[in-house]
Structure 1
């Protein structure tokens, strides 16, 4: 009988995600790999969060949830509304459409794929400069890296809030406590 691993702490969760992003997204130069890797990273992150957010994570270990189920469960378990992070879910939806095109169409529609890419980069560009190369795949990878980092931080704060319900700390105080940003806590 295998002993189940305890859920990750919020900081360990965030550190694990950062390492995975670095290991699997850095230096990618083709659309297919960027889309497939980012989609897998989001799924892994959401599954880790869900396991850390419930009282009995062993019941989730062998569950055969689809990607869509895992994302909806993640959203349902978060103790704070998406608010300024709502764009993340839109990007995830667009990324999923791109992934499904690659996985289920022998010759994906290039215009639809490109419109999703432009929309993802534009959505992120409104929040953060998407620098780097003029190569479309590298710009997409940069935008998705930003989204992955933002989602990881938001889920780490959510995890801390779930574990420390009695503290009465605000989300920004949890961010400060976790050291995710170098900002003073709210007064």
Structure 2
């Protein structure tokens, strides 16, 4: 961050970094990490959508599902093709979370397949080759989407579509 960054954009990233610092600890199992990343990512997407639309008051009481808010954020993302693999990973993360939340005994093969597709999406985006475990891939996903959406807000601001504070 530089002194030239707007307070709005610094607030967007700063808020999310403080949440990461508060809620993510080194010793966390994959299931807890997955649930926390899902919640963190949902907050990032909601914050982005609220700042990216001209009349955010209409979103405040909307009870949009994770999938709906992810689709809205993707539609508002001016550079969504730059992170297409990560948007796919967002969908897979949601499927993993839903399997954990709605199935007493989720299919291990389905869970493993989703885990592999998330890791592969991260590897595709950053040009690596299978060096991540799920925790590292989820951290990358969350961080990169936060930064990417931050830059999307910056771009919208520069183009005259001022995000709402």
Bucket of the pairwise TM-score, normalised by the shorter protein: 0.7 to 0.9
Offset of residue 29 of structure 1:
2.8
Q: Which of the residues 89, 92, 105 maps onto 2:90?
A: 92
Offset of residue 166 of structure 1:
4.1
Task: Say which SS state the counterpart of residue 103 (structure 1) adopts.
Answer: helix
Matches of 1:148 and 1:39, distance apart in 2: 9
Offset of residue 141 of structure 1:
1.6
Q: Considering only aligned residues, what root-mean-square deviation do their CA atoms show, in Å?
A: 2.1
Task: Say which SS state the counterpart of residue 60 (structure 2) adopts.
Answer: coil
Q: Which residue of structure 2 aligns with residue 176 of structure 1?
A: none
Offset of residue 124 of structure 1:
1.7
Judge which range, 98-107 or 48-57, deviates more. Answer: 48-57
Offset of residue 83 of structure 1:
2.2
Offset of residue 10 of structure 1:
1.6
Question: Superposed, which structure 2 residues align to 1:24-43 within 5 Å?
Answer: 24-43=23-42
**TM, length-normalised to structure 2:** 0.83
Structure 2: stretches of 5+ with no match in the other structure: 1-6
Offset of residue 33 of structure 1:
0.8
Task: Say which SS state the counterpart of residue 116 (structure 2) adopts.
Answer: helix
Matches of 1:110 and 1:66, distance apart in 2: 25
Residues 14 and 156 in structure 1, CA contact (< 8 A), matched pair in contact too: yes
Query: Is residue 72 from structure 1 mapped to residue 71 from structure 2 by the alignment?
Result: yes
Residues 47 and 70 in structure 1, CA contact (< 8 A), matched pair in contact too: yes
**Quick one: structure 1 residues 98 and 57, their matched pair in 2 at CA, closer, same or farther if it must change by over 3 Å?**
same
Q: Which residue of structure 2 aligns with residue 4 of structure 1?
A: none
Structure 1: stretches of 5+ with no match in the other structure: 1-7, 133-138, 168-187
Q: Which residue of structure 1 aligns with residue 101 of structure 2?
A: 103
**Quick one: structure 1 residues 28 and 55, their matched pair in 2 at CA, closer, same or farther if it must change by over 3 Å?**
farther
Larger-Rg structure: 1
